[in-house]
Amino acid sequence: MYNNIKLDKSLYSITGKSFTQALTQLDPDENYAGTELASLDAFERQLKRFDIKVSGENCDRVEKFFASSESAVLFPEYVRRTIRQGMNEASILPDITAAVTYTDAYDFRGLTVASTGSETGIAQGGTIPTTTVRLASSSKALTKFARKLSTSYEAIRKQRLEAFGVILKNLGAQISRAVNDKALTDLTTGVTASTYSGSITYADLASFWASMSDRDMTVMVCSPAVMAQILALDEMKLCVSDFMATGKVKTPYGVTIIKSSGVAAGKIYGFDASCAAEAVFGTDVIVDFDKLITTQCDEIACSVTVGFSVLTEGAVKVLEASN
């Protein structure tokens, strides 16, 4: 049972396994099917074992993790998960990428897809249209994104975990925004932009959406200033009920609009999220577990390694102001 598991920092060092995966191997989730613990994973069961509450009105202080040498082993995973939560909340990758790949290499070679031949039907004995998939001619290096929180155990030990979690989630969000910027730059480089004059109009948006003739533009990403212009359009008043229901801004024809500070002024990026791009991760979120376990946490460093490639030609478009 979960309350008999021996916890030590070696669980963070098992090749090919995360801490939670290593813990789950010792304490399988299927053992709890049909019980009140069925909704918890192996890490969450350990929080329950040591009565550590990480949120809510009665959440504990940071020092609760260090009440014993075994409970201290859980602290790095709490930090990693909370940072990951902040990253997920700020990430636009689920909205613009069609596939996520993991690799243990430092670089990767994406795929290129090219189509030839007629789409109007084949005459007897005619040539069959062909879609060709090849590895890209050159590899791309994965980029490491990292941030360090400078602190000390003395400074954080008496802090409520919910408040400390806000700081960790903000750390993750900062990393995620940098990843978002890299994704937008990599995926739109080389794409010839269409233009509009002055402030964006509803007709400009509709024309931009229609410009993806062979694909279905599902997402537009723009700067906060352009987003404000779009929301001020009379036609967007028709979408208020959709926003109230889903929390997402959509055009009347169903395109999700996302604001990102990484988009240059006056630009809008359009994606067919079903086929546009691939995100390649070299690592999940990494934290320095050893210092965090021993309370020598004068700093909390975290990082993630990722790269991007376009999967389908014509599935990424750019619109920019002409003046």
- pLDDT tens column, 58-112: 999 999 999 999 999 999 999 999 999 999 999 999 999 999 999 888 888 877 7
- Decide which of 253 and 86 is more confident: 86
- Output the DSSP codes for 118-150: -SS---TTPPPPEEEEEE-SS-EE-EEEEEEEE
Q: Is the pLDDT of residue 217 over 80?
A: yes
40 plus 103 within the same structural domain: no
Residue 241 has pLDDT above 80, yes or no: no
Query: Does residue 121 belong to any structural domain of this protein?
Result: no
Q: In degrees rounded to 5, what are phi and psi of residue 56? A: 95, 175
**300, 287 in Cβ contact below 8 A?**
yes
Question: Is 30 a domain residue?
Answer: yes
CATH at 200: 3.90.1690
Strands 267-271 and 111-116, bridge-based pairing: unpaired
Residue 145 structural domain: 59-113+132-323
Same domain flag for 240 and 279: yes
Residues 239 and 101 in one domain: yes
- The tally of domains found in the chain comes to 2
Contact between 265 and 279 under an 8 Å Cβ cutoff? The reply is no
- Looking at the domain assignment, is residue 252 inside a domain? yes
Do residue 6 and residue 154 come from a single domain? no
Task: Collapse the DSSP code of 237 into the 3-class scheme (helix H, G, I; strand E, B; otherwise coil) and give the result.
Answer: helix
Q: Is residue 307 part of a domain?
A: yes
Give yes or no: residues 233 and 295 share one domain. Answer: yes
Same structural domain, 95 and 11:
no
Is residue 280 included in any domain, yes or no? yes
Q: Do 210 and 267 sit in the same domain of this protein? A: yes
Contacts of 100 (CB under 8 A, 6+ apart): 93, 278, 279, 280, 281
Q: Per the domain annotation, does 120 fall within a domain?
A: no
Question: Both 44 and 78 in a single domain?
Answer: no
254, pLDDT greater than 80: yes
Let me know if residue 239 belongs to a domain.
Answer: yes
Position 297 pLDDT exceeds 80 = no
Q: For 166-204, what is each residue's pLDDT tens digit?
A: 999 999 999 999 999 999 999 999 999 999 998 899 999
| Residue 179 sits in the same domain as residue 41 | no
Written as six digits, the tokens of 189 are: 């480089």
Across residues 10-17, what is the average pLDDT? 87
CA geometry: angle at 270 spanning 269 and 272, to 5°? 145
Q: List C-alpha distances in Å: 60 to 56, 65, 166, 296.
A: 9, 9, 14, 20
Report yes or no: 90 and 307 within 8 Å, Cβ to Cβ. no
Beta-bridge mates of residue 258: 221
* Across 113-137, average pLDDT: 80
Task: Tell me the HSE value of 286 on the side-chain side, using a 13 A CA sphere.
Answer: 13
H/E run at residue 300: strand 299-310
Q: 72 and 19, same structural domain?
A: no
What is the predicted pLDDT for the residue at 296? 64
Residue 299 has pLDDT above 90, yes or no: no
Q: Are residues 42 and 144 in the same domain?
A: no
Same domain as 165, residue 246? yes
* Higher-pLDDT residue of 294, 276: 276
Examine residue 305 and state whether it is found in any structural domain, yes or no.
yes
